[in-house]
Structure 1
Amino acid sequence: MRKEYRVKKNTDFQEVFKKGKSVANRQFVVYTLKKHEQKHFRIGLSVSKKVGNAVTRNRIKRYIRQAFHEFDGFIHNDIDYIIIARRPTAEMDFSEIQKSLTHVLKLAKVFVKSQEPRKNREDVTEK
């Protein structure tokens, strides 16, 4: 993921924490802050040392970035996202992380109307 798609500065993190809204499930906490002047979304990641060693934490961050890469076009572009991974993510594979992120992002209502990731559209048509 390119650098302009990442939240890196502490001041940016603090602004999202203070002014943004949060939603959570068992695996993730997601903070969102709408920024009207942005052309694309930005994500900031936080994985505590309590989750696992450096290899585990970096794997989780790669999976989250890849999931957001696949969500591109389905989520609003004018939002900063801060994702905090909780302990259960250490034992999850990519598909489980992607499913959990989809769930928490639906709770945050950040998907573009009438567009959701392909896997979720198939689930809706089966019911």
Structure 2
Amino acid sequence: MGNETGRFKRSDRLLDSRDFVRVLRQGRRRSDSDVVVISALCRKNDNQPKDLRGSGRDGSRIGITASRKIGCAVVRNRFKRRVRAWFRVRRVELSEDRDFVVIARRSGAALSYNQLDRQLSRLTGLAYES
């Protein structure tokens, strides 16, 4: 895929557990019955490899958690694929200085992509176009 909106690069993901913990502790939590979104300001970290450092990134990052409570591996992976697809499409609209953690709730596993798009856009503060 040649265009930047179609890629989900390593630098787009929250990879380190310290980053997850930082977002969970310092972030702003918004939720509804299906999904929780926590966002926090990005932290510049010079200890990371150059491709993952703040200066090497060109936007926000996302981390996704889906526990076994929401369903089997197929269901969890489908939810995560849909969230990653949403992030690839909406990444250019998101604030570039934020890291996001998306947490699935039980009812979130049953959402279609369009429903998930609408909810994540609302919870991250994006204006949703019908």
User: SS state of the match for residue 33, structure 2?
Assistant: coil
Counterpart Cα distance in 1 of 2:63 and 2:38: 9
Rate the CA distance shift 1:50–1:36 in 2: closer, same or farther, 3 A. closer
1:17 deviates by: 1.1
* Structure 2 gap ranges (5+): 1-7, 45-53
TM-score (norm 1): 0.80
Query: Could you say what the CA RMSD is over the residues aligned between the two structures, in angstroms?
Result: 1.5
Select between 93-102 and 60-69 the one with higher mean Cα deviation: 93-102
Partner of 1:86: 105
Where do 5+ consecutive residues of structure 1 fail to align? none
Q: Distance in 1 between matches of 2:59 and 2:94?
A: 10
CA distance in 2, matches of 1:27, 1:17: 18
How far apart are residue 36 of structure 1 and its match? Answer: 6.5
Where 2:71 maps in the other structure, the secondary structure is: coil
How far has the Cα of 1:35 moved from its partner? 2.1
Q: How does 1:10-21 map to 2 (within 5 A)?
A: 10-21=17-28
TM-score (norm 2): 0.79
Name the structure 2 match of 1:63: 82
